Amino acid sequence: MDTRLCSVVLVLIVTAAAWLPLASSQNGVEGCSFEVIDGVVSTCDLQMNGTRFGEASWRTSSAATAIYLGGPKTDSQATNDSSPGQGGYVVALVSDMKGTQRPLKAWLLTNVSSATQPKGRCLEFAYAVSELGVSSLQVLLLTYTSPDVQEALENTSLPLTYTTRSLWEVRSSTQGQWKRAHVTFSTLDTHSLVFSASSNTRFSTHRGYAAVDDITFKGGPCDDDCMFDVDLCTWANTELGDDFDWDVGRSSGKRGTGPSKDQVSYINRHINIITGGYAYIDSGYPRRPYDRAILESRVLPPFTIQHCLHFWVNMNGGGLGKLRVFSRTTDGNGTDILLWGMWESISGTDSWNECQQTVASNEEFQILFEASVRVPGAGDISLDTITLTEGSCPSLPSGLKSSWVDCTFLVDTCNWSLEPPNGASLSRVLRQQHLQPARTHTVSLAEGGVKY
């Protein structure tokens, strides 16, 4: 074979090999499970070194080095004795964050990728957080504004400019146990995703770690997530029981009603992010008072673990109707249970409000978003960025839900009051007011329990 041809073939092989890890970790489906090969934990070409961004770095670890180095005692695939979880993972250690800029952080980056498709991409991963030294674990979308990103990353003498926005965050310890999470994201820019672990400066002398495993990327939104940048995703307008349909839009064409931009653009207006769309109801002609539009999820399996339905709402106008969330069993009875509700007195301005509600069912069910009209043409209701993740969550905004256990204490005490119990001097009782006698519940803070 000609020497020049051999050289070209060799260059192509090396180039392809260099991009294979990127294809599996960003643009493909397989992802990275940090396998241990000959005693070495694979990094799947993820960028472990955060010093280019002024942050600390992540490390590889495994069950064999968990106590010595830090991290969970198994990888995330441990299920039973037949799967002891001897594989690897990556970990950010509080002890490695010393000397970095405050707040002390460690960054793990995916490779540089081009713009996503309109439906976005789905990141799935496992995570574990333990000990007092860790403040939070975040997933950030890092968009580059440098003209030649790859060269700027490799050459520290060149300026590297970028912006970041948070996609996901957890601030509570998992006690070292692995949990699953997913994030839907989209961007028009060259970007990387960042796993950012922050240390807790209040416990600077303590140890702690945040670990990540089984990173997977796939096309389109995750499961039942929807950003409404193309269509209604897995959500659909109901065929029976309402009067008109939800639609997808980018900006209201009527003065004083509807959003001027979608939720992501609204909350990131300081860095001029312009993204896609949202779901909305048009209250204009031929709508009449009390007309309803219902958006329904696909049929969901029974949830053995409670899930958090998280979404954003814009209610702009002076004659708004109601937005309510129901769960509906699919056993043929058509039973609708009201979970959450918002009406015109809550908003009325062009702002996106963060909302969430715990959902659970021991049988197959659907989630319904019902929006109604009060004064035709005087106010539109919009919905954006729906996610459904494992784990319970307090109802937001606070005070919308009537459940006696649901209070975030972010605004007020939600009709709970502190009062000393009879015969006690050091303890306090948190008592719920304005309930029927049969539903009086008392929480003893001294005993740490709920009494019925």
Q: Could you read off the pLDDT of 194-216 as tens digits, one per residue?
A: 999 999 878 877 889 999 999 99
Q: Are strands 88-93 and 209-219 parallel, antiparallel or unpaired?
A: antiparallel
pLDDT attached to residue 6: 46
Does residue 406 lie within any of the structural domains?
no
Nearest Cα residue to 115 out of 47, 192, 167, 168: 192
pLDDT attached to residue 343: 74
Residues 147 and 45 in one domain: yes
Whole-model pTM: value is 0.77
Residues 335 and 434 in one domain: no
Give the CATH number of the domain where residue 198 resides.
2.60.120.200
Structure tokens given for 55: 């942050």
Question: Has residue 27 got a pLDDT over 60?
Answer: no
In whole angstroms, give the CA distance from residue 73 to residue 212: 13
Residues 243 and 215 in one domain: no
Does residue 37 lie within any of the structural domains?
yes
**Beta-bridge partner residues of 370:** 294, 324
Query: Is there a contact between 95 and 199 (Cβ–Cβ < 8 Å)?
Result: no
pLDDT attached to residue 332: 66
Structure tokens given for 304: 């053995």
Average pLDDT score, the chain: 80
Average pLDDT over residues 147-159: 88
Residues 354 and 437 in one domain: no
**Beta-bridge partner residues of 327:** 337, 367
Does residue 401 lie within any of the structural domains?
no
Residues 298 and 442 in one domain: no
Does residue 224 lie within any of the structural domains?
no
| 327 conformational bin, left if phi > 0, alpha if psi -120 to 50, beta if neither | beta
Structure tokens given for 311: 């979404």
Residues 294 and 383 in one domain: yes
Residues 25 and 96 in one domain: yes
Residues 277 and 377 in one domain: yes
Number of folded domains in the chain? Answer: 3
Question: Has residue 48 got a pLDDT over 50?
Answer: yes
Query: Is there a contact between 401 and 279 (Cβ–Cβ < 8 Å)?
Result: no
pLDDT attached to residue 85: 61
Question: Has residue 423 got a pLDDT over 70?
Answer: no
Give 202: exposed, middle or buried? Use CB within 10 Å, 0-12, 13-18, 19+.
Answer: exposed
Tell me how far CA of residue 222 lies from CA of 128, 177, 182, 385, in angstroms.
21, 23, 7, 12
| Range in 20-29, 144-153, 402-411 with the lowest mean pLDDT | 20-29
In whole angstroms, give the CA distance from residue 84 to residue 34: 15
Does residue 226 lie within any of the structural domains?
no
Residues 385 and 244 in one domain: yes
Nearest Cα residue to 328 out of 241, 246, 231: 241
Nearest Cα residue to 393 out of 310, 313, 312, 308: 308
CB atoms within 10 A of CB 446: 11
Residue for token digits 């307008």? Answer: 237
Does residue 91 lie within any of the structural domains?
yes
Residues 445 and 371 in one domain: no
| Range in 118-132, 244-258, 373-387 with the lowest mean pLDDT | 244-258
pLDDT attached to residue 432: 45
pLDDT attached to residue 200: 87
pLDDT above 70: percentage of residues in the chain: 77
Q: Which domain holds residue 79?
A: 3-219
Nearest Cα residue to 220 out of 255, 246, 248, 184: 184
Does residue 227 lie within any of the structural domains?
no
Nearest Cα residue to 338 out of 301, 367, 377: 367
In whole angstroms, give the CA distance from residue 261 to residue 166: 19
Question: Has residue 169 got a pLDDT over 60?
Answer: yes
pLDDT attached to residue 267: 85
Query: Is there a contact between 153 and 112 (Cβ–Cβ < 8 Å)?
Result: yes
CA angle centred on 55, ends 196 and 27, rounded to 5°: 50
pLDDT attached to residue 404: 40
Residues 19 and 166 in one domain: yes
Nearest Cα residue to 190 out of 149, 218, 154: 149
Does 286 sit behind a cis peptide bond, omega within 30 degrees of 0 on the bond before it? yes
Give 34: exposed, middle or buried? Use CB within 10 Å, 0-12, 13-18, 19+.
Answer: buried
Average pLDDT over residues 260-277: 84
Does residue 52 lie within any of the structural domains?
yes
Residues 246 and 343 in one domain: yes
Sequence-distant (6+) residues with CB within 8 A of 241 are 294
- Residue after which a domain boundary falls, among 188, 219, 250: 219
Question: Has residue 297 got a pLDDT over 90?
Answer: yes
